[in-house]
Structure 1
């Protein structure tokens, strides 16, 4: 069993990179003898390793790092069909990847996931640490216990304790999270914004997801929906607003998502493929320009509202590569920057990132990793 001191060391090394014993002692306010004892435990458990000494004034410094092969984790994404299952090491590197049908019937879904976990587990390389947990990401609301899916419109689920059911079938601890929250937790642990205390992530897919890190912690809210913008009203002309799957009208998702763009393109007798639609817009086709500009502008206004409310250092927008550099991306950037109240010596950077479906599975794996690295106080 690891103590709180062990978890504190793993937390610092995971968030900030290699540190020497002296640096760890200074950060944690412990004696060098106390740090040495804790580090020795982690070295003996093969969770940490020592790097080459760094020579300078005085005694050489020996940097410590978390070993990639100290443990392995499975991440499952039910964000889209097909579902994706990945096996990762402790640094988030994908070791194996499997696609499978996303089944809506809960028992059939759990049985297929358990079978896939067994297959992936049997192929675990011998030089990798033992499989220590499973994370699962899905498009819906999840209870605070990170076990129960409260609602998932895409699958028709309501109050499904998928975490306990999957744990019983696999014999491994399982944690469940909303897809956007899993995505940002993976970004915080392994992405370019690793260590950033305040940032937001938006992804544009068939739907729209959003999550936030505030003061270094995941922003949850009262019922797990803090900062969720997909069903925020964006259309002011409500009688003309499109109906949304949530039952309301004028939600951002009805204007700015891939599904909304595709539906608008279909009604205009235009291709629904984003690459073809963006190409027509670049060639000056007025209807294509109008659809993409309206969608990107709506997304930009919603992004500006998010920035005004939370003041993050960065907003990462993950979207189709065809949209990123075309009318949609330019309209998003322009509208966001036009509606932000600019402050002295402070600005929010909007970073576009290619939409990568595997990111959700890797984010789910990072959920399980966090409990290994940080203990139960890691999120």
Structure 2
């Protein structure tokens, strides 16, 4: 862009109160005036259907949560969307005159979403298929709505608001009842042919047919059947142990052999899957979001060890594996980032 075009653009953003000037920075030559985006230039609503209860948050343009509502995640589409529209209405009413600052709504759900970011193609957790969530919610709320897979919304929120927003190549994995994964490659979300890029939860991890457990997807031996919270809980229940992650981790720390075996097996499987991810995509970072008890215990140590053991280390480079505590609100903030993208860029392409 020319200096004149850039000056005109900045002036326009300053007049709209989207940018603001900071204190001048003095050095050699003329002082420079840093510009920052105003956090309250616009607000966004993010809805997470990743788990029950559903979470609805109000965020500013820096991704900070200003308000939140929890409500039951209803499987009936009509009842669910009516409930979500009601929660959005409650948030708007609480803002009074500031309600006009809300610029859009994002929705994150565990399932496949069409490229139009309006239609849920399939969501096993809710039993939804070919449901146009975006249009219905937009009609009920009067706000533009965009829909995305939960893992993809999570990484888009990280790219826009998180610590890795300057990184062009990184991956995110979360370990919950299921396992989600998404990738930013060359600065853009890796979508795949049908939106399934990053679906490691249902990648095969067990080749021994005698140990391959059935998965809810209809296949056997998927990563989810070994490394997810659901798999860990099922294994603990069969062994007569507590199904709570924290209690199981404490037992393992005390040397309980069955607890150690369950958590080590699950963490090792996740570590091997992470190594495969690194080998294929060569990201600068892999962010692994999981329960703090898993992160600091046998599961996390096994994950890190197996990942390190199966990565072909390249000269002068190293993929960093960063553990983060699992935060359910992260999905809702990621959903809000979908709406923020349209406000900032005029489109949602990433």
Q: Same fold (TM over 0.5)?
A: yes
Of 119-128 and 211-220, more deviation after overlay is shown by 119-128
The residue number in structure 1 matching 2:179 is 208
Q: CA deviation at 1:227?
A: 2.2
Determine whether 1:283 maps to 2:261.
no
Residue number among 76, 83, 96 corresponding to 1:112 in the alignment? 83
Determine whether 1:303 maps to 2:274.
yes
Counterpart-to-counterpart distance in 1, 2:326 and 2:144? 29
Counterpart-to-counterpart distance in 1, 2:85 and 2:177? 27
Determine whether 1:157 maps to 2:128.
yes
Q: CA deviation at 1:261?
A: 0.0
Determine whether 1:76 maps to 2:41.
no
Counterpart-to-counterpart distance in 2, 1:185 and 1:377? 10
Counterpart-to-counterpart distance in 1, 2:21 and 2:147? 34
What is the TM-score when the length of structure 2 is the normalising length? 0.98
Q: What's the C-alpha RMSD, in Å, of the aligned pairs?
A: 1.1
Counterpart-to-counterpart distance in 1, 2:80 and 2:269? 35
The residue number in structure 2 matching 1:98 is 69
Q: How many residue pairs were aligned?
A: 350
Counterpart-to-counterpart distance in 2, 1:373 and 1:183? 18
Counterpart-to-counterpart distance in 1, 2:255 and 2:202? 31
**Are the equivalent residues in 2 in contact too, given 1:252–1:298 (CA < 8 A)?**
yes
Residue number among 283, 301, 305 corresponding to 1:334 in the alignment? 305
Residue number among 363, 376, 379 corresponding to 2:334 in the alignment? 363
Counterpart-to-counterpart distance in 1, 2:148 and 2:98? 29
Counterpart-to-counterpart distance in 1, 2:331 and 2:130? 22
**Are the equivalent residues in 2 in contact too, given 1:71–1:128 (CA < 8 A)?**
no
Moved over 4 A (4+): 125-129
**Are the equivalent residues in 2 in contact too, given 1:196–1:216 (CA < 8 A)?**
yes
**Are the equivalent residues in 1 in contact too, given 2:122–2:129 (CA < 8 A)?**
yes
Residue number among 127, 151, 154 corresponding to 1:183 in the alignment? 154
Unaligned runs of 5+ in 2: none
Unaligned runs of 5+ in 1: 1-29
**Are the equivalent residues in 2 in contact too, given 1:316–1:350 (CA < 8 A)?**
yes
